[in-house]
Structure formats: C-alpha cells, structure tokens
Structure 1
C-alpha cells in the first residue's frame, strides 16, 4: 500500500478519493493545493497542505502524488505541477480502474483512468493523462502527456494525440489521424483529418476555428 497525496480539494479530487477508497490498493493520506486556495485545514477528514509547504507534512519518499486531475489552463496546471513535483523529489502514482481492458504497451505515471475504458494492443498512454469513463483507444494509437479525455470518446487505430489535448465527451476520431498538441475538441465532434497544434474544433464536423486554443487557457473549472 502506497500513501498518496491528491493535488486538489474540489469535486474532481473528491471523485478521485472515492474511487481510490473503493477500488484502489493505495491509501489517500492528504490533499495539497496552491497556497491561495488553501482556505480549509481539512477535506474529507484529511489534511490540506499548501503546495509550497508540502515537504513539511509529507516529505518526498514518504508519499506519492496524484494530480491535479482537472483540465485547468487546458491541462497546463497538471503539466506544471507534475514537473515541479518531480523537481522537488516526489514520485507520482497512477490509478487504473480494475474494469479497464488494458492491453497497452505503456501507461505513464500520474494517470487516472476510469471504468470500462478499452486500451487495445500496442497503445501508449503518456504521463499525467486523465481518461474518464468508457473511452475506446484503438490499437497502435499514442496519447501524449497531460491529455484529458472525457467519457465515451472513440479514438480509432493508429492515431496520435499530441500532448496537452482536451477532448470532450463522445468525440470520434478516425483511423490514423494526428491531433497536434494543446488541441481542444468540443463534445460530439467527429474528426476525420489531421489537425495542427493549438486547434479548436467546436462543431460536429471537423471545421477548425480561426483562433488558437491559447484563448481557452484562462478558463476556470472545479
């Protein structure tokens, strides 16, 4: 059993706690948030420690970290805190629900993968990926670091999803498509062609918006 500190103290951290307590083999011992959000001493009866003071309560070597699990700053917050945690000497856990059909070649650290997801043979999942419920990732596909894939997404075989992508629920991606880094695909889009980095698609077809996904990085989510 590994002791885990979850980054976050909101709804998604609450969901992660519930899953790990019900289905995981590890133990959550606390939470951490950026200091400006450390407005409570406890969350679900466990300590909440400011990120910049985490070593005072939970030193590296005694715990592993998980998160942040939201897509704040278009996954930039998860990427940045992951890199900072590694630089400070922390290791990262992953949670993979026991119902996941896992034939992947590789699943990175700091991943959170929920129930009824299918990872077909020869798939590769990078570090810091959040994959919600009932996602299909086809054989020989690669998911880059720090992506967030919402529920019921279908990614066909031989696809490449670049780092930092945010894919909304029920998106479909055709065979062999490459999606550039930091792309945002809104719910129920159907993607049939390659997209360059920073793309935004908000339509059922794969019509790309004229603006970059940089515009979305200021969005706030729980």
Structure 2
C-alpha cells in the first residue's frame, strides 16, 4: 500500500521530487504546500497546492507523510524550518533514496533525506537529518555529514571527513581525506578543500597569476561572512 505524501514547495525541486517519489518509491503524492505569501497557483500536476498554514484542514497529519522540497536558501534554513514545523504538527518526515544510487548496507541515514541517482555512499558513512545529495556524488568511507546539509552534483568527499551542520558543497568540489568542515560553511563550485576549515566560512577556487599560460589551480580561501 502506498503512503500518502505532501510535498513542501512548488518550484523546480518540488517538481523533481514529485517525479522521483511518484515513479521510484512507495509514496503517493497527494498535494503540494507553500507558505501563503508564495501561493501563486491552485494546482500542480493535477494536485492541489495548499497554503501551509491551512494544511491540517484538508490533510490529516496522522495519515500523511511530508517532504520539504526546498533547496539551500539561507544555508538550508528555509528547508529546515518547513521540515521541522511539519514534523512538529504531526506529519511524518519522508525520505527518498534512488533505486539507482549505491548506498552501502551499514550507512546510517537520518530522516527527511533525498539521495539522487548515481550517488556512491560508502561503508560506515553517517548522514544526518535533512540532507540532500544531488546526483553523482562520492561520499567516502567513515565520513559524517551533519544535519541540514546540501551536497550538489559530482562532489567528492574523501574518507574520514566530518562535515558540520548547515553546509553547502558546490558542484565538482573536492574534500581530501581526514579533514573537518565547520558548520555553516559554503564551498564554491570546483574548490579543493585540503585542510580543516572552521565554521562560518566561504571556500572558493582561485587562480594563480604565477603559473604559466594561466593554468588553473585551486587553493582554499576563507572569508568570514
């Protein structure tokens, strides 16, 4: 029997989540919901779009699961707020793991996670609550990803890394072995992180003006926001 699911949001991620939950899970999407100030349409894919503050009037929390399909706005705060509020109101958090992802048997997976296709999650990895792994990432053995993180596409997290809460890792970035990434850190696309980074930093790729032919290399640059 399929489990009834409400998706938070109605933009691109919500539409993608609808496809995956509908065609690659045992959930049945029955509605979308958005905060009242963002309500711009009454239906999506033939399903109702309901104001978030009125959700219980139409959908009993005891009979429905919930997934907040929001991205990394405010270092994941928007998604975190909706997920925790829905949970507090009695909706069971849903997770999705693609049938085309490789997740080893002893991975510890928190609630309200979304793992896209072509992810490799190796043995002894721990993923916290509310973690998004977009497509094509490598999460190395014995690494830990904290709550409320967003890892975009083709990211390499090597072994024994520890990623703090509320982090964002941009496309094609790399973390070498045995480093920590502090909470609230944003790693830019293509950056190589080769040392431990304290919390609340921006890590971005830079170009060396000393290399011939403008050949690119990457180093860590940290800026407190």
Paired residues in the alignment total: 211
Flag as ranges the 4+ runs of structure 1 deviating above 2 A: none
Residues of 1 paired with 2:134 and 2:40: CA distance?
28
Maintained 8 Å contact 2:6/2:30: yes
CA RMSD between the two structures: 1.1
Output the TM-score relative to the length of structure 1.
0.92
Per-residue deviation, residues 3-56 of structure 1 (Å, max 9, x unmatched): 111110011111111122222221111101111011211011111111111111
Structure with bigger gyration radius: 2
- 1:112 partnered with 2:114: yes
Maintained 8 Å contact 2:107/2:121: no
Where in structure 2 are the equivalents of 1:37-116 lying within 5 Å? 37-103=38-104, 104-116=106-118
Q: Which of 164, 176, 188 does residue 186 from structure 1 map onto?
A: 188
Maintained 8 Å contact 1:68/1:77: no
Q: How many angstroms does 1:207 deviate by?
A: 1.3
* Contiguous gaps of at least 5 residues in structure 1: 213-222
Maintained 8 Å contact 1:75/1:147: yes
For 1:61, what is the secondary structure of its paired residue?
helix
Residues of 1 paired with 2:16 and 2:82: CA distance?
20
For 2:66, what is the secondary structure of its paired residue?
strand
Higher RCO structure, 1 or 2 (CA under 8 Å, sep 6+): 1
Residues of 1 paired with 2:70 and 2:134: CA distance?
11
